[in-house]
Structure 1
Amino acid sequence: MADTPLASLSLTHVHYDPNDPVSYFCAWLALVPQGLCVVYATLIWSTREIEILLMFGGQLACEALNFALKRALKEERPTKMHGKGYGMPSSHAQFVVFFSISITLFLLFRHVPKPPTPSHTPLSLGARVMVSGLALANAGLVAWSRIYLSYHTPKQVIVGCAAGIASAMLWFLVTSIVRKTGLLSWALEQPIMRLFRMRDLVVEEDLCQAGWEKWEARSTSSSTNGKKTR
């Protein structure tokens, strides 16, 4: 065992210049896709929202497309890069751009919140625009960091961004058709979906609203009952 050569888990292995603070910051940006996968898994399990599951499905399809493109184009990474694998297109850029465009399309075109109530104020259009802007800015930073760290050429990052945009728009169109044809409603009634309690509320409700109105109603009821017993 002592003579066995060790391998590196490249999933989180990032090369950067330890004397350059910007390079160090870019190294952390390289972990954004992994962080988003954790966010996806957490939200799918905790909210059981079908919209999040659909978006994650599109994200995986986008990754499969990147895998196929890299092996079809077979373009090497920049010469100063010590990493493995092909560089065209940038998988990081494609991943984060798909995510940011998908979030933007959802918040601005699919999410139609219910009117405000005394117990809940929905996310305003201005807030949704701001969240979309932050997501797009984050995608831009991650894409730029791949060039700064010399993992990709500018062309490889641009192609990755273009692939991410095209994938997100196509997936949004596909899921819109699935919704309009009633296929999604049918799928939610299937035993496997009911077993996992999948639902479709986030189109009208904010994630933080789930259960809040029930909690408010119970708190009000408890308060009222307490006053009556006095």
Structure 2
Amino acid sequence: MSDDPVPLASLSLTHVHYDPSDPISYLCAWLALIPQGLCVVYATLIWSTREIEIALLFAGQLACEALNFALKRLIKEERPRRMNGKGYGMPSSHAQFVAYFAVSITLFLLLRHQPPSPRVRKRNHTPMSMLERAGWSALGLGMAAAVAWSRVYLNYHTEKQVLVGAAAGVVSAVGWFIITTIVRRSGWLAWALDTPIAKFFRVRDLVVEEDLCQAGWEKWDDKMTVQKAKQKHK
């Protein structure tokens, strides 16, 4: 038997090439990990909140990734000559991923999210104003632009590959928003939420009208109010 060690393979899920002497390149390497981080955020929020809107957003994200997979194998355009990545480069999957996410969040916050009017708000909850929602949307879009730019800077993609990826992400986000709007208005979503399996997993649809932290915060604030009242009467 040979004593030569078996060559090891690299799991390149989070393997990012960058120039260690360039601080900007180092920053771009971290930006390249944002899609993986967002997948963790998706899984965490779906499990902890059981919000159907988040699950639908993630379903659209998966469909967007499937589209990218198909487009790359249909177009078959190579990456830049000084290639820092494997596989085809058109369109950029990172740019498409973050563009879908940012545009979807923007559409949700500005068009679908309908918090209660300040006149009827509860004492322990102040809904986000339109200005705040616009600010979060701008932050998300800026993040997407930074991630897309980092792919060119790290030499994983050409500018054209990034622009096409971003365009595909925007189209996917708008298209999925229209589809989910039709599903909501047709009553199919309400029907699905009333099924035994949805009730078993405690799936809900509250984030359209309230913030994710509202329900838990109300319970906590009510509990603290009761405790303070008991202390005053001692």
Determine if the TM-score, normalized by the shorter chain, exceeds 0.5.
Answer: yes
Show the counterpart of 2:94. 92
Show the counterpart of 1:39. 41
Which segments of 5 or more consecutive residues in structure 1 lack a partner in the other structure? none
Query: Over aligned residues, Cα RMSD in angstroms?
Result: 1.4
Q: Which amino acid aligns with 1:164?
A: G
Q: Following TM superposition, by how much is the alpha carbon of 1:224 offset from its aligned partner in structure 2, in angstroms?
A: 3.5
TM-score (ref. length: structure 2): 0.94
1:142 and 2:144 are equivalent in the alignment: no
1:26 and 2:31 are equivalent in the alignment: no
Show the counterpart of 1:182. 187
Asked if the contact 2:53–2:207 (Cα under 8 Å) also holds between the matched residues in 1, the reply is: yes
Cα separation, 2, equivalents of 1:225 and 1:14:
57
Which segments of 5 or more consecutive residues in structure 2 lack a partner in the other structure? none
Show the counterpart of 1:129. 134
Q: Which amino acid aligns with 1:14?
A: V
Runs of 4+ in 1 over 2 A off after TM superposition: 214-228
Cα separation, 2, equivalents of 1:168 and 1:82:
28
Between the two proteins, what is the percent identity of the paired residues?
67
Show the counterpart of 1:114. 116
Cα separation, 1, equivalents of 2:76 and 2:5:
34
Q: What is the number of equivalent residue pairs in this alignment?
A: 229
Q: Following TM superposition, by how much is the alpha carbon of 1:4 offset from its aligned partner in structure 2, in angstroms?
A: 1.3
Cα separation, 1, equivalents of 2:48 and 2:4:
44
Q: 1:6 aligns with which of 5, 8, 14?
A: 8
Show the counterpart of 1:172. 177
1:103 and 2:108 are equivalent in the alignment: no
Q: 2:55 aligns with which of 53, 60, 70?
A: 53
Asked if the contact 2:64–2:100 (Cα under 8 Å) also holds between the matched residues in 1, the reply is: yes
Q: Following TM superposition, by how much is the alpha carbon of 1:227 offset from its aligned partner in structure 2, in angstroms?
A: 4.5
Cα separation, 2, equivalents of 1:217 and 1:18:
52
TM-score (ref. length: structure 1): 0.96
Give the 3-state SS of the residue equivalent to 1:11 in structure 2.
helix
Give the 3-state SS of the residue equivalent to 2:146 in structure 1.
helix
Cα separation, 2, equivalents of 1:120 and 1:82:
48
